[in-house]
Structure 1
Amino acid sequence: MTKSLFLLPIAILLACTNPAKETATSDSTAVLSDNPSVASIRTGAQQTNKYLPLLKGKRVALSINNTSVIDGKLSMDTLIKLGVNVVKGFGPEHGFRGKASAGAKIGDETDEKTGVPLISLYGSKYKPTKEDMKGIDVMVFDMQDVGVRFYTYLSTLHYIMEACAENNVELIVLDRPNPNDGYVDGPVRDADQESFVGKHAIPILHGLTFGEYAGMINGEGWLPGKAKCKLTVIKMENYKHGMPYTLPIAPSPNLNTQQSILLYPSLCLFEGTVISQGRGTQYPFTILGNPELKGKYKFSFKPVSIPGMSEKPPHMDKECYGLDLRKYDTSIFASTGRINLTWLKEFYAAYPNKGAFFRAANFDRLAGTTKLRNQIIAGKSEDEIRKSWEPQLGEFKEMRKSYVLYN
């Protein structure tokens, strides 16, 4: 893979010298890399010649966030300049321009720059109402995914498709790469664990782009009543599954480095435990720790309140002891085709009060099953755990083949 150049805000670079003293705010538009692999790919959004004719003379709604850019500018600003009649915007978790903290509820507003009404899909509702869909002829969906079941933009895509199907509105998905699509892994979500971080019965890593996943939602009849929305996918050019790809823009405030994006499928499960994943520092999802592990690990960090990233992080203002994974070789994930379960087993073994280690409901929703938590408690080996994921995981991999758009 071509060496990446990380262009993080200067406040983040300075904070890296002392992880215990961090007060910088987040930058939701952080540029992560100028990797040549980014330049060689033409996203769906960049190919305006293919979808502008589909928008001509129509009332257009955009379901986008800060990652929806066309040559460095937010797509809404570009499309309006090109004469597209944008009448509404729909924003997911973190908001339309990606500035809200993780989990923060967001209200409806008017976009300051364009005057377009913005409807929040991460406040009082996840799905556009019939009233919200009035006056719309076509919906454009364009967000950067990271390829995991519990990333909430996946559920937002489902509810956008559901609203489009119910209100006879055409949906156009402008496709973007999946940085974690080099492998498919994890337990398939059980029926009793459906939630906003687990809408469908898929594994932790699905190995699809949003365009491909939208086809799967339609094709597998996952919308209520097996309805189908009228779907058009603007495919990427010069893209294929498994190719190295460094995201040009941080997809959300707490995935602010390429390292965090590649570690996220393995580390997000810790959100259902007492172990901090580094929220409240400038490098979340690259470090792990807990105050009770002093003496067992040498590395330490202190989470603090960081507006726009994590207002009240776990173990705020307390020294946490654990692992520093900022230089971990993440290429091992794609080469082995596996998420890392060793860290979860290790921290459970090291934590003194095992009865308090898991926040059961949260962990089970993220894992998509109660089995994984019970297997960790029972001391099952990784091979035993992985065997329990079959045959569902194999069946999903086979089903996935029908929806792949890129060789």
Structure 2
Amino acid sequence: MVSVKSGLDVLIDEEFQPLRGKRVGLVTHPAAVDRTLRSSLERFAEAPLTLSAIFGPEHGLHGQAQDLIGVTEEESRTVTRVVSLYGKDVASLHPSKESLEGLDVLVIDLQDIGTRFYTFQATMLYCMQVALPMGLPVMILDRPNPLGGLEVEGPVLRPGYESFVGAHNIPVRHGMTMGELAHFYADKLGLPGELLQVVRCQGWERDRYADETCMPWVMPSPNMPTLDTALVYPGQCLFEGTLLSEGRGTTRPFEICGAPWIDASRLAEEMNAQGIPGVYFRPVCFRPTFQKHANSDCGGVQIHVLDRADFRPVRVGLALLQSMRRQSIEQFRWRTEIYEFVENPIAIDLLFGSDRERLAIEAEVPWEEIASVWEEEEQAFRHELRPFWLYP
């Protein structure tokens, strides 16, 4: 285990020198803490600057809201105005120009989970798209990718499938930090990169997972309680695009999945028989307390990651999805309600990044064959992102 400093820690060590005397807007949430577990909000409120505006992402400034729940403007312990960047419509996902007026710099300190559909990196991008063309500098306080920065997995986003869970055409597991993504987005979208500053982490190397650093883990969202959750999330979030439970309403969201009509033992036996590397599937019965199948007994599996080096979460999610559909073809349904403010395409297509995977699943193409077409896209993105690496 190594000692790692976040961008916030580095800024504190510098006594906020780059921001002294400036009017600052801060985009943050509860997981943005320093090495002593004090939040960036507390630190900025005490710093020698004027905290003029605070912006809260999905789940709210205080991390209290469940997924898909709009958040109105909130209270903070300061007298600063607080603006929600996850309200009741798609327009609320972007800061308004009016909310940024009068600022000297917009600072973004958010903990990502290294996954395209984890929305904090989309919030960062949307902030950059508004602020940078206004001539407003943006500072990213970088944090390690808790899944490490070497592995890339899953399909890239195709044109026409952009949304809050797919703001740019990157793979599902992207292997980058927020700071690296910021430079990548600025370059690919032609944003004025000279106004972008990334305060880098110190001591982090990209082959290290979150538990291989001394940095504390704080839940970045209500259903991301541990690193174990984050490890499986790139594949298990796909279940949001179905009527199967992804384990919300349990103490092991995303690690557990299933439905009332699933035969747990049969599913676990079928999954384990495939010999998928790095993982074991344990049959479980669970009763969600909210969301899908609340207060109903569900059969399913818990995903136990045995070897992170071999484990490929997106492929595991695809394999599980296919096995559950095959076992319960009459009950299986895709989620068709409005998802992240989008009615069409449907949720599963937004999550995969196109309809290609859904159509292949419906055609009963084996998951290994579906995933094989990702390999060229994954390899191409590895080469594309390499120039934007900030860490060895």
Report the equivalent of 1:44: 7
The answer to whether residue 40 in structure 2 is matched with residue 63 in structure 1 is no
The answer to whether residue 72 in structure 2 is matched with residue 77 in structure 1 is no
Question: Counterpart amino acid of 2:5?
Answer: R
The answer to whether residue 326 in structure 2 is matched with residue 349 in structure 1 is yes
Report the equivalent of 2:306: 329
Residues of 1 paired with 2:4 and 2:310: CA distance? 23
Unaligned runs of 5+ in 1: 1-35, 306-312
Report the equivalent of 1:135: 102
3-state secondary structure, aligned to 1:266: helix
The 1:381/1:92 distance shift into structure 2, 3 A limit, reads same
Question: Counterpart amino acid of 1:165?
Answer: L
Size of the alignment, in residue pairs?
357
Q: 2:251 aligns with which of 282, 287, 298?
A: 282
Q: Is the 8 A contact 1:263 1:330 kept in 2?
A: no
Write out aligned runs for 1:7-406 (5 A): 36-37=1-2, 40-47=3-10, 48-50=12-14, 52-70=16-34, 71-111=36-76, 113-124=77-88, 125-180=92-147, 181-221=149-189, 226-228=191-193, 230-246=195-211, 248-294=217-263, 296=266, 299-305=284-290, 313-325=291-303, 327-329=304-306, 331-333=308-310, 339-340=315-316, 341-353=318-330, 356-357=333-334, 359=336, 361-406=346-391
Question: Counterpart amino acid of 1:346?
Answer: S
Q: Is the 8 A contact 1:67 1:143 kept in 2?
A: yes
Residues of 1 paired with 2:203 and 2:363: CA distance? 46
How large is the Cα RMSD of the aligned pairs?
Answer: 2.0
The 1:232/1:51 distance shift into structure 2, 3 A limit, reads farther
Q: Quote the offset at 1:238 in angstroms.
A: 0.9
Question: Counterpart amino acid of 1:254?
Answer: N
The 1:361/1:406 distance shift into structure 2, 3 A limit, reads same
Residues of 2 paired with 1:366 and 1:91: CA distance? 23
Q: Quote the offset at 1:75 in angstroms.
A: 1.2
The 1:250/1:110 distance shift into structure 2, 3 A limit, reads closer
Residues of 2 paired with 1:330 and 1:250: CA distance? 23
Q: Quote the offset at 1:323 in angstroms.
A: 0.4
The 1:177/1:299 distance shift into structure 2, 3 A limit, reads same
3-state secondary structure, aligned to 1:240: coil
Structure 1 stretches of at least 4 aligned residues deviating more than 3 Å after TM superposition = 226-229, 294-298, 336-339, 357-360
The answer to which of 101-110 and 348-357 deviates more is 348-357
The answer to which of 341-350 and 271-280 deviates more is 341-350
Deviations 1:2-32 (A, max 9, x none): xxxxxxxxxxxxxxxxxxxxxxxxxxxxxxx
Unaligned runs of 5+ in 2: 268-282, 337-344
Q: Is the 8 A contact 1:145 1:210 kept in 2?
A: yes
3-state secondary structure, aligned to 1:191: coil
Deviations 1:53-88 (A, max 9, x none): 111111011000001112211112122223221111
The 1:317/1:162 distance shift into structure 2, 3 A limit, reads same
3-state secondary structure, aligned to 2:125: helix
Q: Is the 8 A contact 1:165 1:229 kept in 2?
A: no
Deviations 1:186-229 (A, max 9, x none): 0011101111100101110111000000000111126xxx5546
Residues of 2 paired with 1:282 and 1:392: CA distance? 35
Question: Counterpart amino acid of 2:120?
Answer: Y
Question: Counterpart amino acid of 2:297?
Answer: E
Question: Counterpart amino acid of 1:82?
Answer: A
Residues of 2 paired with 1:337 and 1:288: CA distance? 14
Residues of 2 paired with 1:197 and 1:229: CA distance? 27
Question: Counterpart amino acid of 1:205?
Answer: R
Question: Counterpart amino acid of 1:209?
Answer: T
Q: Quote the offset at 1:244 in angstroms.
A: 2.6
Report the equivalent of 1:15: none
Q: Is the 8 A contact 2:32 2:109 kept in 1?
A: yes
Question: Counterpart amino acid of 2:245?
Answer: S
Residues of 1 paired with 2:332 and 2:210: CA distance? 40
Residues of 2 paired with 1:404 and 1:61: CA distance? 26
3-state secondary structure, aligned to 1:193: coil
Residues of 1 paired with 2:335 and 2:180: CA distance? 34
Q: Quote the offset at 1:96 in angstroms.
A: 1.0
TM-score normalised to structure 2 length: 0.86
TM-score normalised to structure 1 length: 0.83
Residues of 2 paired with 1:366 and 1:52: CA distance? 38
Q: Quote the offset at 1:304 in angstroms.
A: 1.0
